[in-house]
């Protein structure tokens, strides 16, 4: 007799995640930072503060991804924690920036996409004692609660290199009761399959699951071709959790002080079947990808 599949309840998949993945791969959005740069964000300017000073421009980015067919869009809150905003003299704006970011995306979604709010790293290293675990927990808890208050339907702890920081951010996000996605960056080592600290996909998957992430994955760091093997290894070690993949549009080239990406939407999409075969449940894009990329992914996934 063939072995029976493990009941979904036994692996504690968040009911909301179970619901939205039931019909097959879920299409997420693309890059935000490069999209804001194309709309005038200057080098060194804090993108998160545009939620307060140029909300209509932030809404343009969100709406463009919804119109392109994204089923999940993120928020312009990647660096909106107290540690990073504090460096810009805006630590007192954490609540306002995050609530506005979630609200802008919810309004842009208009009920046609879900909003999972972005929570990026602090930019400080625990190992160097630049920040303490308590400071990180306080900062991520403050951010997560503000995103929930603004209407986020899920939280994405993304672009993490340090597993300890990822664990802290997950713990803070879990307090909200929202589903939590947790993603690491694998761009180091001979095969570009380790984080900056040497963590493998298998080690990351085990730690993220143990920390309580409802979805695990990888984003940023390298082009989509390199994500196929990383995705397969995450999936094999994910203990039944869905896998989230958001790759860059190839490797960047610096032109006039800005990172530019040469990969086309069609070239990016050509790799998606392999990523899905490797086990991705959520697929989207990171740095350099645009609404055109998401539109092309939607066409490949749905034939229209």
pLDDT band of residue 251 (cuts 50, 70, 90) is confident
Q: What is the pLDDT of residues 198-220, one digit of tens each?
A: 999 999 999 999 999 999 999 99
Neighbours of 174 (CB within 10 A): 17
Q: What is the mean pLDDT of the chain?
A: 93
What pLDDT is attached to residue 16? 93
What pLDDT is attached to residue 6? 36
Tokens of 226: 């390199």
What is the mean predicted confidence (pLDDT) over 41-51?
A: 96
| CA 108/CA 59 separation, integer angstroms | 6
| Of residues 141, 144, 154, 142, the one with CA closest to residue 105 | 154
Angle, CA 225 vertex, CA 221 and CA 227 arms, to 5°: 55
Of residues 78 and 11, the one with the higher pLDDT is: 78
| CA 153/CA 180 separation, integer angstroms | 10
pTM assigned to the model: 0.94
HSE (CB half, 13 Å, CA atoms) of 294? 31
| Rg (alpha carbons) of the chain, rounded to whole number | 18
In the predicted model, is pLDDT for residue 252 greater than 60?
A: yes
Give percent of the chain with pLDDT exceeding 70. Answer: 95
The 3-state DSSP class for residue 23 equals: coil
- Whether 288 and 33 have beta carbons less than 8 Å apart is answered as no
Each as own residue / partner, the long-range contacts of residues 88-93 (CB below 8 Å, 24 or more positions apart, any chain) are 88/46, 88/49, 90/46, 90/49, 93/49, 93/52
For the chain, the domains span: 24-302
Return the H-helix or E-strand segment holding 243: strand 243-248
What pLDDT is attached to residue 12? 65
Q: What is the pLDDT of residues 136-190, one digit of tens each?
A: 999 999 999 999 999 999 999 999 999 999 999 999 999 999 999 999 999 999 9
Instruction: Please state which CATH class domain 24-302 belongs to.
Output: alpha beta
In the predicted model, is pLDDT for residue 280 greater than 90?
A: yes
| CA 79/CA 48 separation, integer angstroms | 7
Q: DSSP secondary-structure letter at 47?
A: G
């Amino acid at each position: 007799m063939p072995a029976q599949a493990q009941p979904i309840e036994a692996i504690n998949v968040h009911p909301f995640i179970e619901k939205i993945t039931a019909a097959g791969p879920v299409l997420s959005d693309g890059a935000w930072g490069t999209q804001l740069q194309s709309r005038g964000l200057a080098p060194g300017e804090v993108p998160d503060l545009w939620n307060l000073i140029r909300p209509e421009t932030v809404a343009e980015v969100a709406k463009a991804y919804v119109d392109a067919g994204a089923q999940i869009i993120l928020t312009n809150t990647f660096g909106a924690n107290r540690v990073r905003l504090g460096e810009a003299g805006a630590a007192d704006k954490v609540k306002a920036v995050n609530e506005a970011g979630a609200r802008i995306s919810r309004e842009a979604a208009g009920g046609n996409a879900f909003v999972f709010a972005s929570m990026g790293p602090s930019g400080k290293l625990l190992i160097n004692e630049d920040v303490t675990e308590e400071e990180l927990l306080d900062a991520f808890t403050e951010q997560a609660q503000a995103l929930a208050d603004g209407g986020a339907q899920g939280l994405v702890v993304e672009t993490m290199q340090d597993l300890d920081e990822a664990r802290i951010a997950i713990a803070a996000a879990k307090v909200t009761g929202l589903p939590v996605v947790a993603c690491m960056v694998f761009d180091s080592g001979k095969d570009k399959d380790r984080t900056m600290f040497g963590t493998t996909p298998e080690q990351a998957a085990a730690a993220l699951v143990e920390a309580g992430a409802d979805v695990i994955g990888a984003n940023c760091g390298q082009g989509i071709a390199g994500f196929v093997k990383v995705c397969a290894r995450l999936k094999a070690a994910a203990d039944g959790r869905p896998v989230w993949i958001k790759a860059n549009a190839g490797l960047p080239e610096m032109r006039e002080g800005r990172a530019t990406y040469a990969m086309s939407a069609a070239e990016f999409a050509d790799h998606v079947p392999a990523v899905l075969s490797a086990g991705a449940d959520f697929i989207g894009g990171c740095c350099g990808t645009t609404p055109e990329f998401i539109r092309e992914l939607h066409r490949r996934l749905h034939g229209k």
